[in-house]
Structure 1
Amino acid sequence: MSFLEEISKYDPKMVLERIEGKTAADVERAVHAERLRIDDFMALLSPAAQDFLEPMAARAHRVTTQRFGRNILLYAPLYLSNECVNGCRYCGFSAKNQVPRRTLGFDEIEREARVLHEQGFRHILLVTGESPKAVDNEFLAAAADRIRPMFSSVSIEVYPMDETGYRQMVAAGVDGLTIYQETYDRALYAEMHPFGKKRDFDFRLATPERGGAAGLRRIGIGSLLGLGNFRSEGFFTGLHALYLSRHYWRTQLSVSFPRIRPADGGFQPLNPVSDRHFVQLICALRLLLPDVGLVLSTRESAKLRDNLIPLGITQMSAGSCTAPGGYADKDHSTRQFAIDDDRTPEEVSRLIRAKGYEAVWKDWDSAFLKA
């Protein structure tokens, strides 16, 4: 059974009603459960759980240190292009926005990659909009092949591909895929994506499965916080992660928590997520998914990121730029969204060490497979 078939069993409105109906007794039972059931997870996402944030955070911390130690993996995004044919209402790259468009050439890509390599990064995420004329599979494969010698892990956050496309990426040295569903509410998804290939909800939802079948070693998922209600979106994100962990157990799974940030187009969150709710979501997903990596980007403020490190975070971006050419040329005019934590990678690394954790720049190398 595909995840599309599994998710069809749940109505988002009924899920939210069940979550909001959970009691303090349900939450207390869930906090102490050895392994969470779906009902327990719902309880941890409920309004009643707001009074249990401290015990949730304490257990999330214990679970994370048991499974991951005190290590925080650092990575950086490298934007190849901001050209896009989609009309996503919330994105600065939307085809409707009158912004400067740029696609890097291979020499420019290598120059950007070299800046990140010199800063210490060995895990890199290649990001693009969706524009087949500007960036296709062959372009991405060539870009990955060009920079691969500088990095132990190359991941992509680009348009969805079919399984053959992902096998092409694996052959070019790509080992990871990040793909956000944005929202698991089909009706809201249609409203947020009025035109473009991204409008196909089903094809996007099945993307992680195609990546797993193609042999990608890392897969990251998440919903864009600020679109749907965070409680139901968190529930479906957790459900999705459980499905992938059962069916693609050889693949390392991670969950990200992107909150909407200011971007060209001026979109405002439909359902803003407060910091307390953000913490609740992270703790709930950590307790549901003890072996899954949790990722925090520079969308969040330095202060909040610092405080969230002990609560289950295992991966963080640092020194990020969301515009093509932003590292070498310092040109931020074409950025996807504004970041909030603008500290340098070294400053983030020092802070991580000061909190008693280890900043990890490299935790994997394809050479391991050849040993």
Structure 2
Amino acid sequence: MNNVTGQAVPPFRLPEFSQLQARIAASTPADVERALRRPRRSDTDLAALLSAAAEPRLAEMADLAGRLTRQRFGRVIQLYAPLYLSSFCANRCLYCGFSVENRIERRVLALEEAEKEALILARRGFSHILLVAGEAPARLGVDYLAELATRLRHRFASIAIEVQPLTRDEYARLFAAGITGVAVYQETYDRRTYDQVHIAGLKADYDRRLEIPARVALAGMREVGLGALLGLADWRAEGLALGLHLAYLRKLAWRTAVTISFPRLRPAAGGFAPLVPVSEKNLSQLLFALRLFDEDVGLVLSTREEVRFRDGMIGLAPTRYSAGSCTIPGGYGDTGATGEQFSIGDSRSIEEVAAAIRAKGFDPVRKDWDAVFQQAGSQQ
């Protein structure tokens, strides 16, 4: 039910993955030409821009994407840092270092420890943080998150979470406590692959996972983050699925901002190897295509990627970069801590990343709105 109107929420109807692949494969150079010339683009145009037929036009796509990004977002790139709270997880996901079957050192930060980690990030200049935890509600639940947000809300411009899926009432409670965004990645929109890599735990339910972003938006969160873990299935079809999911959320909850992340598989405990290779060229085409499809969507590029690629993408399509990241609970204060979720590709500090952004003529933004804004909104 819609929490505003009381009416039933239309479900997100995603075509079969093979149908998405067929739509993309049927695209011709003429379809790509039309997509590049349109002022506004449909999902048919997105399919064309993701196709092999668009690869010879990649430089043109980059130019158009860069111009659109500057028009809609200016010459700014927001910086954020993830803060890992717990490495416990009840799910068995073959690709994840936190998977329940992996033998790693596991830890849940006490509230005081989490607060200290956050203050380290604040001293380093971060005003936007993402609280991350494995999906283990018995270890880290809503009470913990609400209390931590209450402690931190006056120190950060925004606090987002990437944790286990919650109920709409729980999301509303966290919004009132100071959390303004939720990232819920589908990991892969290919049902067959999803079943192969999600072996056990609540996350093994594909349909349950798919409806969470709508729940987040209807709970009043200011932002919902989508994403597909690149390397599990056909990246072109994942891109089209992301675009369709984005379009659905735009109609369902137009006041909610949407971001899309593009995590490529990185080395992690368990030794899972990508099922489908995704090159930097592929990732570039995916970023440009989605920018041309939706000029207002936030595009996130994390420290999973190497320095050279991240610096090369400045000013083209991404609007948000992570920096100085650590994927180990307590790892900011204890540099000897172990038990990372995955290894990172860009280990530079926030100052080094900011310098690279400025060198390209852009402004690394550490704070672009005030916490007073979110507090006022939560009282409406």
- TM bucket (normalised to shorter chain) is over 0.9
Q: Does residue 132 of the first structure (1) align with residue 137 of the second (2)?
A: yes
5+ residue gaps, structure 1: none
Name the residue aligned to 1:284: 289
1:247-279 superposed Cα distances (whole Å, 9 cap, x missing partner): 211111111111000000000110110111110
Q: Is the 1:153–1:175 contact (alpha carbons within 8 Å) kept by the matching residues of 2? A: yes
| Partner residue, 1:248 | 253
The CA distance in 1 between the partners of 2:62 and 2:115, in whole Å, is 41
The equivalent position to 2:13 in structure 1, one of 2, 6, 12, is: 6
Residue 200 of structure 2 aligns to a residue whose secondary structure is coil
Residue correspondence of structure 1 range 350-369 to structure 2 within 5 A: 350-368=355-373
Amino acid at match of 1:18: R
Deviations 1:121-167 (A, max 9, x none): 01010000011221011111112222222111110000111101101
Report whether the alignment pairs 1:313 with 2:318: yes
Letter in 1 for 2:13: E
Please report how far the alpha carbon of residue 246 of structure 1 lies from its aligned counterpart in structure 2 after TM superposition.
1.8
TM-score by length of 2: 0.95
Show structure 1 runs of 4+ deviating over 3 A. 1-5
Q: CA deviation at 1:245?
A: 1.6
Equivalent of 1:149, from 151, 154, 157?
Answer: 154
Q: CA deviation at 1:24?
A: 1.1
Distance in 2 of aligned mates of 1:368 and 1:137: 23
Deviation at 1:80, TM superposition (A): 0.3
Q: Does 1:211 align with 2:221?
A: no
Q: Is the 8 A contact 1:4 1:202 kept in 2?
A: no
Matched, 1:348 2:349: no
Query: Alpha carbon RMSD of aligned pairs, Å?
Result: 1.3
Aligned to 2:5: none
The question of whether the paired residues in 2 share the 8 Å contact of 1:302 and 1:341 is answered with yes
Which residue number in structure 2 is paired with residue 229 of structure 1? 234
Indicate the residue corresponding to 2:335 in structure 1.
330
- 3-state DSSP class of the match of 1:276? helix
Question: Whole-Å Cα distance in 1 between the matches of residues 339 and 11 of structure 2?
Answer: 35
Check 1:16–1:2 CA distance in 2 against 1; reply closer, same or farther (3 A cut).
Answer: farther
- Contact 2:12-2:211 at 8 Å conserved across structures: no
CA distances 1:263-313 after superposition (whole Å, capped 9, x unpaired): 000001101101111100000000001011100000000110000112211
Q: 1:3 to 1:259 in 2, by over 3 A?
A: farther
Does residue 71 of structure 2 align to residue 62 of structure 1? no
CA shift, 1:208, in A, is 1.0
For residues 367 and 233 of structure 1, what CA distance do their matches in structure 2 show? 37
Provide the secondary structure at the position in 2 that maps to 1:78.
strand
| Structure 2 equivalent of residue 111 of structure 1 | 116
Which residue type is aligned with residue 289 of structure 2?
A
Q: Secondary structure at the match of 2:199?
A: coil
- Measured in 2, the distance between the counterparts of 1:5 and 1:60 equals 27
CA 1:259 to 1:4, structure 2 compared with 1: closer, same or farther past 3 Å?
farther
1:19 positional shift: 0.5
Match of 2:44 in 1: 39
Q: TM-score, normalised by structure 1?
A: 0.97
- 1:332 is displaced (CA, Å) by 4.3
Question: How far off its partner does 1:366 sit?
Answer: 3.0
Tell me, yes or no, if the aligned pair for 1:322 and 1:332 is still in contact at 8 Å.
Answer: no
Provide the C-alpha distance between the structure 2 equivalents of 1:332 and 1:43, rounded to a whole number of angstroms.
Answer: 46
Contact persistence 1:83–1:131 (CA under 8 A):
yes
Is 1:179 matched with 2:188?
A: no
Amino acid at match of 1:169: L
Rounded to whole Å, the distance in 2 between the matches of 1:15 and 1:368 is: 40
Instruction: Report the counterpart of residue 27 of structure 2 in structure 1.
Output: 22
Q: What is the number of equivalent residue pairs in this alignment?
A: 369
Question: Are 1:226 and 1:269, in contact at CA under 8 Å, matched by a contact in 2?
Answer: yes
Q: CA deviation at 1:368?
A: 2.4
The percent identity for this pair of structures is 50
Q: CA separation in 1, counterparts of 2:287 and 2:313?
A: 9
Gaps of 5+ in 2: 1-7
Matched residues in 1 for 2:11 and 2:373: separation? 34
Write the distance in 2 (CA, Å) between the matches of 1:332 and 1:303: 27
